[in-house]
Amino acid sequence: MPPDPSDLSPQDLEEVEAEAAAAVAAAGTAEELRAVEGAVLGRHSGLAALNQGLGGLPPDRRRAAGQEIQATRARLREAIARRRGELEGIERRARLMAERLDLTEVLPVPGRGHLHLVTKTRWSLEDTFVGMGFEVVEGPEVETDWYNFEALNMPPAHPARTGQDSFYLRLGAPESILLRTHTSPVQVRLMESRQLPIYAVVPGRCYRRETPDARHIPIFHQIEGLVVDHGITFGDLAGTIEAFANAYFGPAIHSRLRPGSFPFTEPSAELDITCTICAGAGCRTCSSSGWVELGGCGMVDPNVFANVGIDAEEWTGFAFGFGIDRCAQMRHGLADTRLLLENDIRLLSQV
């Protein structure tokens, strides 16, 4: 209850001071302290009421009482300042604790990335072939016309070149250096530089000037296979492809070879596998045939052997090449190849 101004006594002042001091001490935050400050020193405080009551005192007491009120006010101000200092210290310590970085703390990394589907597919294809006794080799992506075409029995103006529209580089003679259109040039490099026999696969990026659509992208990946040894037959080729299809796609997936034509193999075949989407029953992806085309293959053409100085009377061999992107598509049920070049997070987060 506010003291009656007409009846100011030292007791009133003591009471007001004690109450105010208790409120200051009880303030737990800087904000609470600001409110207390207003209540104990402001216009509606007990002190203000006592001050107003001075006028009702006899003149001989008025001066002394006024001085006491001022002294009390000064003590309360000091108490408030002290309390403010304490509270600021407490709050600063709390903030420092909350903001402190523990550099030794190991936190789980949220949303850690992983390899792209195509990279994973390539690696597991490599593993499958290594398990079958092949070594993994790489070759350059920038090739000469000789390795990409001519040594592979595709002289200039050969009709097969029109199916492999190329990106040429402004280097050397016009149209002499290009981005490889397939991994087959590495066959030539291997046969030139290696001791026979050869059992190798060559994964890598290839380029063709193609307008992207659901089945074609201008940057794609192939894996080439090359075997050269004594007495290699077409039966070895067919058996190797079948063993690969079972090992990579599963025992329910088979392979078949259809007559085909490539300048660097003779005879040549188109290579199909059971459609992995419908397991051979027939669906939209395989146009109801139960089979999807994976790539091409055949027996190394004697003209190619001649270009690299291998005696075709003594050695025979087979080669195959197919799309890594197509394998990724079949394993992950992707309807559109273009997804593999885009950065759609729904595709990229697939494992």
> Rule CB under 6 A: which residues touch ligand PHE?
182, 184, 224, 262, 265, 295-298, 319-321
* Shortest spacing between CB 123 and ligand PHE, in angstroms: 21
Tell me the C-alpha to C-alpha distance, in Å, between residue 32 and each of 25, 36, 84, 130, 330: 11, 6, 10, 74, 68
Helices (H) and strands (E) in the chain, counts: 11, 9
Q: Which is nearer to ligand PHE, 286 or 297 (CB)?
A: 297
Cα 254 from Cα 252, distance rounded (Å): 7
* Shortest spacing between CB 127 and ligand PHE, in angstroms: 21
Quick one: tokens of 5? 């101004």
* Shortest spacing between CB 175 and ligand PHE, in angstroms: 19
Quick one: tokens of 342? 């885009």
* Shortest spacing between CB 134 and ligand PHE, in angstroms: 14
Q: Which is nearer to ligand PHE, 249 or 320 (CB)?
A: 320
* Shortest spacing between CB 351 and ligand PHE, in angstroms: 29
Q: Which is nearer to ligand PHE, 182 or 326 (CB)?
A: 182
Buried b (16+ CB within 10 A) or exposed e, 123-144: eebbebbeeeebebbebeeebb
Tell me the C-alpha to C-alpha distance, in Å, between residue 218 and each of 185, 206, 333: 18, 8, 21
* Shortest spacing between CB 224 and ligand PHE, in angstroms: 6
Q: Which is nearer to ligand PHE, 80 or 206 (CB)?
A: 206
Cα 17 from Cα 38, distance rounded (Å): 14
Closest CA to 142 of 166, 118, 174, 160: 166
* Shortest spacing between CB 317 and ligand PHE, in angstroms: 11
Quick one: tokens of 69? 């009120």
Q: Which is nearer to ligand PHE, 265 or 329 (CB)?
A: 265
Q: Which is nearer to ligand PHE, 73 or 180 (CB)?
A: 180
- Which residue minimizes CB distance to ligand PHE? 321
Q: Which is nearer to ligand PHE, 53 or 298 (CB)?
A: 298
* Shortest spacing between CB 297 and ligand PHE, in angstroms: 5
Q: Which is nearer to ligand PHE, 143 or 224 (CB)?
A: 224
Which H or E element spans position 138?
none
Tell me the C-alpha to C-alpha distance, in Å, between residue 166 and each of 130, 145, 175, 180, 210: 31, 10, 9, 8, 9
Cα 327 from Cα 118, distance rounded (Å): 9
Closest CA to 13 of 38, 55, 50: 50
Tokens 């250096």 belong to 177
